[in-house]
Amino acid sequence: MKPGELPAAVFLMGPTASGKTGLAVDLCERFPLEIISVDSALVYRGMDIGTAKPDAEILRKAPHRLIDGETYTSRIHHDPGALPQRRRSR
């Protein structure tokens, strides 16, 4: 990869219970990938019922980022001035 280039990204999207996690784990076993969960319910620590959160065995095989309250930061979190300014129209 050349300086300034971003790494390739693979996005798996689909309906609930369609096999996304299984496919992601298979891909991680074959390629040097990281799983970053973007399921809004999985970020809550202790909210395991009704979320299809990966079990300990799956997480050992293929760790998932942003599950169970894993800490992350964003530019907006640290700089409220980074939020877009909205104009009120009257």
**Residue ranges of the chain with pLDDT lower than 70?**
1, 43-44, 48, 69-90
pLDDT over 90 percentage in the chain: 11
State the pLDDT at residue 44: 67
pTM (predicted TM-score) = 0.62
Q: Please, which contacts does 17-23 make with residues 24 or more away whose CB atoms are closer than 8 Å?
A: 17/52, 21/52, 21/54, 21/58
Of 3, 4, 23, residue with least CA distance to 13? 23
At residue 88, the pLDDT reads 42
